[in-house]
Amino acid sequence: MRSNPRMRIEFRGDDKSEALDLSWLDWCLIRDLTPDGRQILFDETGLGGGQNGSVYVRATDGSPAVRLGDGVATRFSPDRRWVLSTNRSDPTTMILLPIGAGQNILLPTGGIHFQFGTWMPDGKSICFGGNEPGQAMQLYLYDVERRKGSRITEGGISGRVVDVSPNGRVAVAGLPSGEFALFPIEGGTPRLLEGLDPNDRPIGWTGDGAALWVLQRGRLPAPIYRFDVETGRRELWKEIMPRSRSGVDGVNNVCLSPDGQAYATSYVQILSELYAVRGLG
């Protein structure tokens, strides 16, 4: 038997439209979706992406993907001119890849190992999770113009979730306990988000900043909830199912537009071929 695992991407513009397969090479993971739902950001980190991985953008009309450079993708900048990415070989440097004409910009972190992060709404700073060698992971705020970062947290964070509210005042991130909290960007005591558990994954804010979109992992169809950050109330928004369920046991990541109508999702599909050989004896 021969297996052929692939990471795939699907996009749906609204509940009435057909899902569009936007897969490119062999291991494409969705990282971001523009608010208007017209463009996705993803990376290829399998054999097709090369040793250092490859970063791509692609229009959701199905036109060919455009390779921006080596690395692992993170987010579009608010003005859609840049993509925040990192290089596998040097986690202490963030990279800005231009979507149009221009040169790559290197952003040294001062020895902090970048793990994951996002842009601040004004596009002038980056909020990211990282750690100094041998130290716990923390939240940092990085000034792009000054090329300098400062630590936001003291107690440590965990997981691969950092997303800043639309007003730029708080960031949601995981705690070592498996819970989630809102961390004030200007420093201060984080507020625990009661009602979320370790199987939940916040994947973005609603446009008004009142709620989080939350993916519950380990289930298929994959449920997406709208979680009110003030009341802790959660309501089912939609359930996501790939066009073909064959060889799929879960959804890896989902990116939603702020209004929740458009979304792109990545999932692993493993298809196998079984061969019967006769006449060898």
Q: How many CA atoms lie within 13 A of 237 on its CB side?
A: 25
- In our burial notation (b when 16+ CB lie closer than 10 A, e otherwise), range 71-83 reads bbbbbbbeebebb
Confidence of residue 275 (pLDDT cuts 50, 70, 90): very low
pLDDT of 271 strictly over 60: no
Instruction: State yes or no: pLDDT of 281 exceeds 80.
Output: no
Q: Is the dihedral of CA 57, 43, 268, 172 positive or negative?
A: negative
Are 58 and 65 in contact, with CB atoms under 8 Å apart?
yes
What DSSP assignment string belongs to 55-83? EEEEETTSPPPEEEEESEEEEE-TTSSEE
Instruction: Specify whether the CB–CB gap between 126 and 142 falls below 8 A.
Output: yes
- Minimal CA–CA distance to 211: which of 184, 183, 182, 253? 182
Mean pLDDT across the stretch 203-232? 94
Q: What is the pLDDT of residue 279?
A: 63
pLDDT tens digits, residue range 11-64? 999 766 789 999 999 999 999 999 999 999 999 999 999 999 999 999 999 999
Over the chain, what is the mean pLDDT? 92
Tell me how far apart the alpha carbons of residues 53 and 154 are, in angstroms, rounded to a whole number: 33
What are the structure tokens assigned to 234, written together? Answer: 């959660």
SS3 209: coil
**Predicted pLDDT at 274:** 47
pLDDT grade for 159, boundaries at 50, 70 and 90: confident
* Mean predicted confidence (pLDDT) in 208-235: 94
Name which residue leads in pLDDT, 245 or 188: 188
Q: What DSSP string runs through 6-72?
A: EEEEEEESSTTSPPEE---SSBEEEEEE-TTSSEEEEEE-SGGG-TT-EEEEEETTSPPPEEEEESE
> Could you read off the pLDDT of 98-140 as tens digits, one per residue?
999 999 999 999 999 999 999 999 999 999 999 999 999 999 9
Give yes or no for residue 152 having a pLDDT over 70.
yes
Q: Provide the whole-model pTM.
A: 0.92
Examine the pLDDT at 198 and tell me if it is beyond 50. Answer: yes
Identify the band that residue 2 occupies on the pLDDT scale cut at 50, 70 and 90. low
Identify whether the C-beta of residue 241 lies closer than 8 Å to the C-beta of residue 221.
yes
